[in-house]
Amino acid sequence: MTERRRVFSGAQPTGEPHIGNLIGALNNWVAMQDDYDTVYCVVDLHAMTVPYVPSELEKERRQLAKMVLSVGVDPSRSLFYYQSDVPQHVELAWVLTTLAGVGQLERMTQYKEKSDRTGQSFGLLAYPVLMAADILVHKAHAVPVGDDQTQHLELTRDLAERFNSRYGELFPIPERITPEIGARVMSLTEPTSKMSKSDPSPRSRILLTDDDDQIVAKVRAAVTDTGAEVAYDWTAKPGISNLLEIYSFFTGRPIPDLIAEHRDGGYGAFKEAVAQAVAEGIRPIRKAYEALSDEEVAQVMSVGAERGRELAEGTMMTVREAVGLS
């Protein structure tokens, strides 16, 4: 029997998860369980690279873990844990830091953007190295990433190649997996910007815990475009194009079919159909989330951490030997 390729992915516990997280990441986490050996992680150490409130971090990482389980990630099929519970992530990150170039890290788009907003710190600069360690400590073959993480995956590939060249072939070079649709869900209030947990407007995003009335209200208020024709054109009609992608995801129907059905029906009727589809899709996730207790989540994450340490330690034993630390 052929051994399944391993996939790693992590999510930051900052803010409440929204449909952009579901479409761009969490739904794919669930689907990949069928075809890959999957390792998923709440990357709480990454959340410390910008100013934060400790009590909020504690709450948000628990909420995210709960949501990941609620959307369908099965801990009997996937390894799932808190990053900080597996110290081998940080140990490998230090080894990789000795191979990383400062100039390459300073050129990272996210570093430049976040340092402008929150100030420069070594944690923010070294963030992509820890991300590389997250992937490589489990010898992942592939990583699902959106366009905004492409630079970080390229750095991971570079560091794996540098390590292999200097110390011997130990790490696979991870490949990119990109979702066919919804890799970048846009804001409902500013459809040229990515939907974000940090957007000051709560109307910009639909939370996975929103009830039906909240969802309908947000979709009805979504910014659209001039004219009345429903068309898929990201240049001329970014608002409608964004809603079409969201609609397609929640109905499973191709965008051309949705356009044919709603092309001349006006934006009001189209938005109502989108809202009902989203509300219907979110409802079972919200109910699963409400039914899951904090104690159940803590037990799942404890078991996952133990398995994660065991798997990561296998990698680190060979790394220590390769670099002369065994």
Q: Report the CATH number that the domain containing residue 256 is assigned in CATH.
A: 1.10.240.10
Total length of the chain: 326
- More confident of the two residues 240 and 179: 240
Q: Are residues 281 and 309 in the same domain?
A: no
Give the residue-averaged pLDDT of 148-157: 88
Domain count, the chain: 2
Is the CB of residue 108 less than 8 Å from the CB of residue 128?
A: yes
Please provide the average confidence, as pLDDT, over all residues in the chain: 93
Give the residue-averaged pLDDT of 2-31: 92
Q: Are residues 249 and 100 in the same domain?
A: no
Give the residue-averaged pLDDT of 199-203: 92
Point out the catalytic residue in the list 66, 114, 139, 218.
114
Give the residue-averaged pLDDT of 150-179: 94
pLDDT above 90 for 95? yes
Q: What is the largest CA-CA distance in the chain?
A: 69
pLDDT recorded at residue 116: 61
CATH of the domain at 145: 3.40.50.620
Point out the catalytic residue in the list 66, 112, 139, 194.
194
pLDDT recorded at residue 44: 97
12 vs 34, 41, 50, 51, 63, CA distance in Å? Answer: 24, 9, 12, 14, 11
Q: Are residues 56 and 118 in the same domain?
A: yes
Please report which confidence band the pLDDT of residue 108 belongs to, taking 50, 70 and 90 as the band edges: confident
The model's pLDDT over 112-143, given as tens digits with 9 standing for 90+, comes to 676 666 667 888 889 999 999 999 999 999 99
Does residue 187 lie in a domain region? no
- More confident of the two residues 324 and 109: 324
Q: How many CB atoms lie within 10 A of CB 76?
A: 7
The rounded distance, in Å, linking the Cα atoms of 234 and 262 is 17
Is the CB of residue 254 less than 8 Å from the CB of residue 260?
A: no
Q: Are residues 215 and 247 in the same domain?
A: yes
Q: Are residues 279 and 298 in the same domain?
A: no
pLDDT above 80 for 197? yes
Task: Name the residue range of residue 28's domain.
Answer: 6-182+294-323
Does residue 193 lie in a domain region? no
The rounded distance, in Å, linking the Cα atoms of 79 and 294 is 19
- DSSP for 30-64, please give it: HHHTTTSEEEEEE-TTGGGGS---HHHHHHHHHHH
Q: Are residues 161 and 124 in the same domain?
A: yes
The model's pLDDT over 219-263, given as tens digits with 9 standing for 90+, comes to 999 999 888 899 999 999 999 999 999 999 999 999 999 999 998
Q: Are residues 283 and 313 in the same domain?
A: no
237 is catalytic: no
Strand partners, 41: 10, 81
Q: Are residues 148 and 285 in the same domain?
A: no
Q: Look up residue 36 and give its two tokens.
A: 């890959």
The rounded distance, in Å, linking the Cα atoms of 190 and 187 is 5
pLDDT recorded at residue 2: 63
Is the CB of residue 306 less than 8 Å from the CB of residue 86?
A: no
197 is catalytic: yes
Q: Are residues 26 and 165 in the same domain?
A: yes
Does residue 270 lie in a domain region? yes
Q: Are residues 156 and 222 in the same domain?
A: no
Is the CB of residue 195 less than 8 Å from the CB of residue 185?
A: yes
Is the CB of residue 323 less than 8 Å from the CB of residue 167?
A: yes
pLDDT above 60 for 1? no
pLDDT above 60 for 181? no
Q: Are residues 147 and 216 in the same domain?
A: no
Does residue 191 lie in a domain region? no
Point out the catalytic residue in the list 66, 112, 197, 237.
197
Give the residue-averaged pLDDT of 152-160: 95
Does residue 194 lie in a domain region? no
Does residue 252 lie in a domain region? yes
Please report which confidence band the pLDDT of residue 77 belongs to, taking 50, 70 and 90 as the band edges: very high
pLDDT above 70 for 179? no
pLDDT recorded at residue 56: 95
Nearest CA to 188 among 175, 169, 203, 171?
203
Residue 114: partners with Cβ closer than 8 Å, 6 or more residues away: 49, 50, 124
114 is catalytic: yes
Write the DSSP symbol of residue 22: I
Does residue 154 lie in a domain region? yes
Residue carrying the six token digits 């964004």: 242
Please report which confidence band the pLDDT of residue 304 belongs to, taking 50, 70 and 90 as the band edges: very high
Q: Are residues 215 and 146 in the same domain?
A: no
- Nearest-10 Cα torsion for 268, 273, 277, 283: 60
pLDDT above 70 for 265? yes
The model's pLDDT over 20-76, given as tens digits with 9 standing for 90+, comes to 999 988 999 999 999 999 999 999 999 998 889 999 999 999 999 999 999 999 999
- DSSP for 266-307, please give it: -HHHHHHHHHHHHHHHHHHHHHHHHHS-HHHHHHHHHHHHHH
Give the range among 137-151, 160-174, 257-271, 272-286 with minimum mean pLDDT.
137-151
Does residue 15 lie in a domain region? yes
Give the range among 15-19, 214-218, 321-325 with minimum mean pLDDT.
15-19
